[in-house]
């Protein structure tokens, strides 16, 4: 009887695994590596990250502003500044988005992004990305100069 229970249990596990296989790839709920950061749509987030990289390469403050989640927190030499809106961001763009920040974004490989409950880290923590609570926007939430 005990052997029968083990066999049935193993069959259930195997069937559950087979059900989750699609063309050789195992599909799981946990494939979204950004979920811990509160990002529900990994494809949209990755598209946003790619767009941010392109905008940074163009050095376009007006376009980058579309990917800022306000208030943007900027840490600079022990000071914390809250950037409240588009106007403030565009006016302080040169001060906020330094070459070091640009390089960290441009050089960041998508597969090497670090993710935790605080967000998605770019570089060595120079930039953090996140989501609005309603998931309507993904973007930059913190810059550490």
Give dist(CA 118, CA 124) in Å, integer. Answer: 14
Helix, strand or coil, per DSSP, at residue 21: strand
Residue keyed to tokens 């923590």: 125
Looking at residue 119, what is its pLDDT? 98
Query: Which top CATH class is 29-144?
Result: alpha beta
Q: What is the mean pLDDT of residues 23-27?
A: 44
Domain ranges of the chain: 29-144
pTM of the shown model: 0.79
Give dist(CA 43, CA 144) in Å, integer. Answer: 26
Evaluate whether 93 touches 138 at the Cβ level (below 8 Å).
Answer: no
88-105 pLDDT per residue, tens = 999 999 999 999 999 999
Whether pLDDT at 115 is above 60? yes
């Amino acid at each position: 009887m005990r052997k029968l229970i083990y066999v049935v249990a193993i069959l259930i596990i195997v069937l559950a695994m087979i059900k989750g296989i699609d063309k050789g790839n195992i599909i799981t709920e946990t494939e979204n590596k950004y979920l811990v950061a509160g990002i529900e749509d990994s494809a949209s987030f990755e598209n946003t990250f790619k767009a941010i990289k392109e905008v940074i390469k163009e050095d376009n403050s007006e376009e980058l502003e579309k990917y800022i989640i306000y208030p943007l927190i900027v840490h600079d030499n022990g000071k914390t500044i809250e950037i409240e809106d588009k106007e403030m961001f565009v006016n302080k763009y040169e001060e906020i988005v330094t070459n070091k920040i640009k390089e960290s974004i441009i050089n960041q490989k998508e597969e090497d992004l670090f993710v935790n409950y605080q967000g998605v880290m770019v570089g060595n923590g120079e930039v953090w990305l996140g989501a609005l609570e309603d998931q309507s926007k993904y973007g930059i939430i913190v810059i550490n100069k």
